[in-house]
Amino acid sequence: MYEPTIITWILTIFGIITYGPLLYVQAVMIMKPNSERAKTLIIGKGEEWRDRSHFKSAYAFAIVDWFIYFPLFTIGIIGIALAGSWGYVLFGAAGTIALYINVFLWFFEKEYVYSAQGPLVYFTYWWGNFVYWGTAALVYSVIRLAGVHF
């Protein structure tokens, strides 16, 4: 059995706080992709999509996060709460996905977001926390599955 620890719950809460607002924004993008509200939430009030690819990637990420990432993250948390090793496998998989896509976005979006938001916002909420959470969730899951108990 893999009983959850205080570190498990800290990582879970950090993940929910980090991804909660994003999932809301992406729900708006999925339901009304061409709305002014979706555009304002994703790129900022008064801003325009850089090009059609920017719009399409935001829409695609919203769909993928809602239909793959969010269920994986949620079911992983349920599995961890049930003290199953499979919960840590899914939690680690969610961490891997978060790390993969957000490291890409950290560099890809820097030209546009960093200058508009500044370093503190950019390296914390606007990509930073996603990378930090993904790394922590992946490493923690591997350590727990290796049999280390904190």
Q: 110 pLDDT band (50/70/90 cuts)? A: confident
Distance of CA 23 to the CA centre of its chain: 9
How much of the chain, in percent, has pLDDT values that exceed 90? 67
What integer pLDDT is reported at residue 67 of this predicted model? 96
- What is the signed CA dihedral for 44, 48, 54, 55, rounded to 10 degrees? 90
Question: What is residue 28's predicted lDDT score, i.e. its pLDDT?
Answer: 96
Q: What is the pLDDT of residue 120?
A: 81
Cα separation, 143 vs 46, in Å, equals: 45
Closest CA to 130 of 96, 93, 88, 79: 96
Which residues, including other chains, have CB under 8 Å from residue 95's CB and lie 6 or more apart?
133, 134, 135, 136, 137, 138, 139, 140, 141
Give residue 118's pLDDT: 77
Q: Say what the pLDDT of residue 127 is.
A: 79
13-46 pLDDT tens trace:
999 999 999 999 999 999 999 999 999 888 877 7
Q: Band the pLDDT of 85: cuts 50, 70, 90.
A: very high
**pLDDT band of 50, cuts 50, 70, 90:** confident
pLDDT at residue 122, as a whole number: 76
CA distance 66 to 111: 26
- pTM for the model stands at 0.88
Tell me the pLDDT of the chain averaged across its residues.
Answer: 91
